[in-house]
Amino acid sequence: MAGNYNITINQNSDFQRAFQVKEDAVVLDITGYTFTGRLKQNFNHSGHQDFTTSLVAPYANGTFSISLTDVETAAMTAGTWVYDVLMEDASGIKTTLLNGNAFIIQGVTP
């Protein structure tokens, strides 16, 4: 079951969050895993913005991060978006880890 976690993203700013994957309260070694994530203005919107994802070494600590550049956040329309993050193991099994709302806060300074 995916965890519901809302995030706030400021336009014109870099965004990064790190998360630790646990299974039954035990940290998961994510060596060989891949992560993907996407934001959309709503579930039916055809456009999207992908997160850049990366594993945080050492992988046995189960930590990965999602990020966006200031250029990417500047291109996003202020408002409430939706997002999710998926994890894929070495055998190709995908699991939705996170989902929720992404509150895009309008920026003043470019």
3-50 pLDDT, tens per residue? 999 999 999 999 999 999 999 999 999 999 999 999 999 999 999 999
C-alpha separations of 108 from 10, 11, 74, 78, 103 in Å: 10, 8, 10, 12, 16
What is the torsion angle, in degrees rounded to the nearest 10, for the CA atoms of residue 5, residue 66, residue 105 and residue 48? -100
| Average pLDDT rounded to a whole number, residues 89-96 | 96
pLDDT tens digits, 54-91: 999 999 999 999 999 999 999 999 999 999 999 999 99
Is residue 1's pLDDT more than 80? no
Q: Distance between CA atoms of 82 and 42, rounded to whole angstroms?
A: 6
- CA 10, 88, 57 angle in degrees (round to 5)? 65
The whole-model pTM stands at 0.93
pLDDT for position 39: 98
pLDDT for position 35: 98
3-state secondary structure of 60: helix
pLDDT for position 109: 85
